[in-house]
A and B are shown apart, each in its own frame.
Chain A
Amino acid sequence: MQSKNRQIPIAFAVLTLVAGISIGTSATQEDEEADRGKKDFVEVGCYQCHGYQGQGGPGGRIAPKPLPLEAFTRLVRRPANVMPAYSPKVLSDEQLKRIHKYLESIPEDPEVSTLPALSEE
C-alpha cells in the first residue's frame, strides 16, 4: 500500500515530462538540458509559485515562451515586487539557463475555443 503510494511521484514526473516536453526517442543535448532544468525548477522552488508547468499561481505565468534569458535572469535576481530574490549563491547562472530551457520546452496550451469545459454556454 505504502510502497505503491511512494511510486506516484515518479509517475507524475514522467507524466509531466511527457505532457510538458515532447521527449524525442534519442534525447538531444537540448532535451537533456531541459530535463535537468525541470529538476532545478522544482528543486529551487520555482514550481511553488509558478506551477510545475510555469503556468502561474501566486506568481504569474512564465511559460511557455519565457522572457529572453537576459531579462529572465534579471527578474529572478532582482524581482519587481514580492518574489524572493534568488542570488547566485542559491541559484547559479547555469541552473537558470537550464530552467529557462525547460520553460522554453513547454508546449503551448490549447485555445479556449477548443475546450468545451470553458465554453460560455
Chain B
Amino acid sequence: MTTRRDFLKGVAAAGTLSGLASKSEAQAAQAETQTRAAVSALPPSSYVEAMESDVPGYSEAEAEHYFVQHAGSDFMADVIKSLGIDYIASNPGSSHRGLQESLVNYGGNTKPEWLTCLHEESSVAMGHAYSKIAYKPMAMACHSTVGLQHAAMAIYNAYCDRAPLIVFGGNHLDAADRRPGAEWSHAAQDAAKLVRDFVKWDDTPHSLQHFMESTMRAYKIATTPPMGPVVIIVDGHLQEKEVEGNLPRIPALAPTVPPQGEIGALREVARLLVNAERPVILVDRVAHTPEGMTRLVELAEALQAPVVDRGGRMNFPNDHYLNQSGRRGQLIREADVILGMEMYDFWGAVNTMRDLVHRESSRRTRSDVKLISLGVNDLFIKANYQSFQRYQPVDLSIGGDAQASLPSLTEEVRRAMSAGRRSQIADREKGLREAYGNMQAQSRRRATYGWNSSPISTARLTMEVWQQIKEHDWSLVSRGLGGWPQRLWKMNKHYHHIGFSGGGGVGYGLPASVGAALANREHGRLTVSFQSDGDLNYAPGVLWTAAHHGIPLLSVMHNNRAYHQEVMHLQRIATRRQRGADGPAKIGNVFEDPFIDYATLAKSMGWWSTGPISDPADLAPALKRAIDVVSQGEPALVDVVCQPR
C-alpha cells in the first residue's frame, strides 16, 4: 500500500509538472495525520516501530509530527524560479520563514539569490532601481504588517516611477492557527490593503494553485506598461505545511506585448508634426530599453525636431544636437506643435505655478499651440494618491506605449513628407546645431562660476568625477548633481542615467544606487552615484548590504550638511512673514553640531571611504583611489562637502 509519504514523494518527483492523485486519497491521508498527531509525542512502541517511516529511526507518526518533507513553500520557490527572478531582497521575518528556507536550501540560493537587507525600504528601493538597469523585476519579501509598513514609501516611489516590483508579504490568515503574540500583531485581515492605493495589483492566495496563478498574473501585470509594483501576500501556514493533494503544473510565462497607439491616430500625429514649423518633442519615461533611445533619435531626426528630455529615463543622447533640453523654456514658448510622450507631468511642462503667497498659474505656450499626448498614463490610474498630476487638456490624446509606438509613428512621419517638405525640414538642421553649440558653450562657461570655491561647487565636483570616469564603461544611477552631468558629460547609452525616485520619497537614492549597481555588476560597469546627505541618513544600513554582497559602487557625496531643500522652504516662509532669517531656517533642517562623519559610517559598514573633502584640489587623487577600489569589486565612498546646490 502506498503510504501518504510515498504518495507525496511521488508528487515531488513528478516535480512541478504533473497533477495526480485523487482528492479522496489526499483526504484519507489527512485524517490519518490528525490521528497520528495525538500519539506522535510518545516514544516509539513496537507498534509504531513496525510502521517505520522513510525518516530512518522514526515511525511514520513521529516523522509526521516532527518533520515536513514537502513544504508548500518549496513549490512557491519553484514558481518564483520559473519567472527568472535573479534576486530577492529581504529583511527577515517569521511570516516568510518558510519561503526563505525554501529559496535558500531547496532553491540553492540562486536565481533568486537572497539578499540580506537591513530595512524593507532598502529592499524595495534596490529592486526599483535594479529593474531600470536589468529590464526585469526583482522580488522582495516583507515581514507581514510591520515589514510592509516599512516598505510602503519605497513601493510608492516605484508606483509613481512606473517600475516593476514583485513584493511578497508574509501573513497568518487563519486565526485558529496563530501562536499568541507576534503572530497576531503581525497578521492582518487584508494585509495588502496598506499599499493597495499604490500598487498595480495584489492578491492573497489561499492555496498553492492560487499562489501559482496569482504570482504569474502579478508578474505579467507588473511588467506590462504602465509597469508598477504588485504584492502577493503569502500565508505562513501555506508556506510551512506539508503539500496536500496535487501540485499544479507551472506553465511557461507569456509576457504581455505592450499596446501601440492606434495607427490612424499616429498618422494624424505625423501629419501635425510634419506640417509644424516649430515642433517640439517632450519626453519623460519613454525609453524602457536602449531600443527606445534608438527609435526616438530616428523620429527626432526625421522631423529635425528638438527634444526636451525631462529625464525620467535615459531617453535621448545628450551629445546629439537635437537634445535641446537646456533650451526648454524658449522651445516650449515658441512651439506650434508639442508631442508629449510618457509625461509624468504634462501640465507642469507647459504651465507654471510659482511658489508665491497667491497661487496663480500661467501657460508657457503659444495660445495656438497643438498639444499631443502619447503614453500609457490614461490606461491606468488610481484615485487616492494624486501622483497623476494636474489635468492637461490636449488636442489629441493617444493611449499606447510610446516606445512601442515609435517605429510606426516615424514611418508615418516619413510617409507624410513630400520631397519638398523633407528638404525644408532638413534646412532646420543648421540652426539647431548652432543652438546646441551655444547651449553647450554656455554650460561650460556657467560651470566655471565658483570653480575654486570651498565648499566645492556642484559643477566642479561633477567635472572632477567626469575626468576620472570618462574612460570607463560607467553608469550614473543617481540624480545628476545640479543637472550638470546632463549638460556636460557625454551621456549616450541607456544605462548612463536611470531617472529618479518617481514619488519624491527621499531615502530612495542610496538603496537605489546599490540596486542599480547590482544590476550593472554582471556587465562590469563602473556604477557612479551622487549621494546627498539627507537621503543617506534615512537607512544607511544598505551600505552594509553592498559590502556584504560585493556590489561595486562609487558613491560621491553631495554633502551640504542639510536637508537643504527644506532650509530654502523655511527661509521662504520666514521671509514672507517678515521674521527670522537664516538662524531659524536651519532649525530642524541641518546636520550640524555634530557634523556626521560619513566616511567613518561607511567604513564601519565595510566600505572603503575617504573625506570629508572640502578643497577641490583634493578631489582628483581621492576619486582615483576610490575608483581603484571599485574596480576591484568593492564599494567606495568619497565624502565631499559641497555648496548647497
Contact = CB atoms under 8 A, between A and B. Distances in A.
Interface string B152-186: 00000000000000000000000000000000000
A56 B453 CA distance: 12
A90 B482 CA distance: 29
A61 interface: yes
B571 A8 contact: no
B463 interface: yes
Given A16-B454, A84-B576, A51 B595 contact: no
Given A82-B356, A117-B466, A48 B450 contact: no
A48 B572 CA distance: 11
Contacts of A81: 354
B582 A6 contact: no
B583 interface: yes
Contacts of A56: 446, 449-450
A91 B580 CA distance: 10
A58 B612 CA distance: 24
Contact of B354 (A5, A82, A115, A117): A82
A16 B445 contact: no
Interface in B548-578: 564, 567-568, 571-572, 574-576, 578
A61 B592 CA distance: 27
Category for how many chain B residues contact A: 35 or more
B210 interface: no
Contacts of B452: 19, 109-110
A36 to B, nearest CB: 15
B249 interface: no
B265 to A, nearest CB: 38
B448 A110 contact: yes
Interface in A1-58: 1-2, 5-6, 8-9, 11-12, 15-16, 19-20, 42-45, 47-49, 51-58
Contacts of A16: 453-455
Contacts of A8: 595, 612, 614, 641
Chain A contact residues, majority secondary structure: loop
A44 B581 contact: yes
Contacts of A6: 593-595
Given A57-B482, A57-B643, A49 B453 contact: no
B448 A109 contact: yes
Contact of B575 (A9, A90, A117, A120): A90
Contacts of B645: 49, 51, 57-58
Contacts of A117: 460, 463-464, 466-467
A70 interface: no
B457 interface: yes
Contact of A51 (B567, B580, B644): B644
Interface of A: 1-2, 5-6, 8-9, 11-12, 15-16, 19-20, 42-45, 47-49, 51-58, 61, 81-82, 84-87, 89-91, 109-112, 115-118, 120
10 contacts: A5-B594, A48-B571, A51-B643, A51-B644, A52-B455, A84-B575, A85-B576, A90-B578, A112-B445, A118-B463
